[in-house]
Structure 1
Amino acid sequence: MKAERKGLWLGFVGVAIFALTLPMTRLAVGTPDAPLMSGVFVALGRAVVAAGLSILFLLATRAPWPRRQDWLPLAITSAGVVFGFPLFTSVAMRHVEAVHASVIVGVLPLATALVGALLHRQRPSRGFWICAALGSVLVVAYALLRSGAGLRLHVADALLLAAMACAALGYAWGARLSQRMRAEHVICWALVIALPLTLPLAWWTAPGTALPASAWAGFAYVAVFSMWIGFFAWYRGLALGGTVRVSQVQLVQPFLSMLFAVPLLGERLDALTLAFAVAVIATVFVGKKMPVRTAPATAPVLSPAVEPR
């Protein structure tokens, strides 16, 4: 219970850091009327900065090389949280407000729990699946209502939904690796192995004109905190408390993101947005109460009994 409690607190620290990601990304990419950095540069550039910090950290802590069986999980983690989630959100955030995007993030706790349950050979109950489906329907309904395009989903909303899927995948695999590697080393190696792709692409998409300090401040935050430091607490929390349980700490992330977006970006909360956010979070809260059974293991998996190195 002590480890679980510590995991929940570390998870909350990670979520609090991640909650600023959407507002800060919006600050960096600007709006359609006043564009700043490209979404591709923000996504890949932040990974390059975090990779540089990771190399220094790995050297300072004398991190061992990942084992042979760790490279594929690291590649999957990298695909989810270094490429997929940053790219989709950074491109989308120029076209939607952070308050709007925060509602879409409301589906992430259930998505993470779902992937974690599958990865750890657990069997969610029918009630869990119903809650997962209801939460997803609410998110899509909100996106359709706000799209202003009838029954067509806005491209930015589709990108945000894809980002949630990538995040869930990267979170679950990173948490699994954190059971046998130091949590800090997981995100560091995931960033380093992506560097041969992120560095040239970030260089190619770098802004060629002067930008306001606020844009660079937003970029600096997502590079140092969202892409690096936040994962130190998040992956450690998932490893200690369990992916399915600790993922539910993300319940507070949409609300925190909304609260940060109001003073940072001058956005406002309306009754519809708040109502959908509460409804989505309610489905996640109910879903986490549903029983999840563990299936008998038929193949070797990463053992949670292994102490992090």
Structure 2
Amino acid sequence: MSDGTEPRTAARPAPRASGPARSGPLPPAGHRGGLVGTVLAALGVAAFSLTFPATAWGLEGLGPWSVVTGRLVLAGAVAGGTLAVLRVRPPARRHWPGLLVVAAGVVVGFPLLTTLALRTSTTSHAAVVVGLLPLTTAAYAAMRTGARHTRRFWVAALAGAAVIVAFAVQQSGGALAGGDLYLFGALLICAAGYAEGGKLAGHMPGWQVIGWALVACLPLSVPGAALALTAEPVHLGAHAVAGLLWLALGSQFLGLVVWYRGMAAIGVARASQLQLAQPLLTLVWSVLLLDEHLTWAAPAAAAAVLVCIGVTQRASTAAERAPAAADPAGANPEERP
């Protein structure tokens, strides 16, 4: 009898010990994930900050429709080739509506509208106007997902947007530029694409989100590129080639890969506020690459925007701690599927 009871009593503690072993590491992993997510989102912002200078370079040798469709074809070919080599299965049917929003907003709409705007607006002016994108993205995400943020978060986000608007008006001499209608339209459609892509990145890798969105646009972008290249003048030079390659590989693919991965890790609204720094980075690139000139307001705007970014990040972190304390699993409600 003793031989039969001893194995059972010795085996009983094992299941009890396995539970805490799985749940114990969760908080540190979440902390590391938040840090990595912030770094990835910041890398995406850095990649996006070169988009307008690269577009200006591309327009030196190509027409606007050629620039837009050319970047889509190149990026779609890279994305499609990567998906094929890795034998990635197509997304589930329930994910395709969100992917189509990403395709309409980030892949087609934003590049097209901003390229058209840059025919009449300077790179620095367009960059500052698009600085309203963090606020529109956070607002869209809140309406779409029901995520709640503290009053301090929204005050800081609105303050950052106000700084951006004031700087845009000061840069343009007190009036909005002719391409601003294109830019404001780009804000709205890109915010939807960012928010939907960030949500989808919680269900699939970020590179697959943008990869499938690019592939979905190939049936339109390939004939569009062929038509545009025959209808618009083509004078390829070093600037035009470099600009087009960066738009396709840096802005349209690699930048969005790390951006969506970062949003999945730290939340759409929190990641979007990092983009408050994007216009200021673009201003630096416009000086270095395009010989544009800045006014005295640029350093002041940079300091104010950086303060707003810090406040939004701290407010988001504080908001995440409360549900983590109430929820034994420490899950962030905004990131739950």
**TM-score band, normalised by the shorter chain?**
0.7 to 0.9
- Picking from 122, 145, 159, the partner of 1:97 is 122
C-alpha distance after superposition, 1:183-222 (max 9, x if no partner): 1111010011112222222221224333322112111110
- Give the drift of 1:139: 3.8
Alignment-derived partner of residue 215 in structure 2 = 192
Q: Indicate which of 190, 198, 202 corresponds to 1:175.
A: 198
Aligned to 2:80: 55
Name which of 237, 245, 259 aligns with 1:234: 259
Gaps of 5+ in 1: 31-35, 296-301
1:8 aligns with 2:38: yes
CA distance in 2, matches of 1:100, 1:279: 18
Would the alpha carbon gap of residues 50 and 41 (structure 1) be closer, same or farther in structure 2, given more than 3 Å must change?
Answer: same
Gaps of 5+ in 2: 1-30, 324-332
Distance 1:265 1:52, change over 3 A: same
Find the partner of 2:49 among 11, 16, 19: 19
- Partner Cα distance (1:144, 1:210) in 2: 34
The alpha-carbon deviation at position 102 of structure 1 amounts to: 2.4
Cα shift at 1:132: 4.3
Percent of aligned positions with the same letter in both sequences? 37
Contact 1:78-1:190 at 8 Å conserved across structures: yes
Q: Is the counterpart of residue 162 in structure 1 residue 196 in structure 2? A: no
Alpha-carbon distance, 1:96 to partner: 2.1
What is the RMSD of the two structures over their aligned residues, measured on CA atoms? 2.7
Q: How does 1:121-270 map to 2 (within 5 A)?
A: 121-147=146-172, 151=175, 153-206=176-229, 207-270=232-295
Q: 2:207 touches 2:256 (CA, 8 Å); kept in 1?
A: yes
Cα gap change, 1:105 to 1:166, in 2 (>3 Å): same
Change (3 A) 1:263 1:122: same
Q: Return the offset for 1:281.
A: 5.0
The alpha carbon displacement at 1:49 in A equals 1.0
Task: Show CA shifts across 1:58-89 (max 9, x none).
Answer: 10111111101011000011111011110111
Moved more, 233-242 or 92-101: 92-101
Question: Would the aligned equivalents of 1:29 and 1:215 in 2 still touch at CA under 8 Å?
Answer: yes
Instruction: Indicate how the Cα distance of structure 1 residues 270 and 112 shifts in structure 2: closer, same or farther if over 3 A, else same.
Output: same
**Structure with the largest fraction of helix:** 2
1:210 aligns to what SS in structure 2?
A: coil
CA deviations on 1:242-265 (whole Å, 9 max, x unpaired) are 222222332332222122221211
Give the counterpart letter for 1:197 in structure 2. Answer: L
CA distance in 1, matches of 2:266, 2:278: 18
User: Which piece of structure 1 moves more, 134-143 or 116-125?
Assistant: 134-143
The residue aligned with 1:33 is none
In the superposition, the TM-score normalised over structure 1's length comes to 0.84
Match of 2:109 among 74, 81, 84: 84
Q: How many residues align?
A: 293
TM-score by length of 2: 0.77
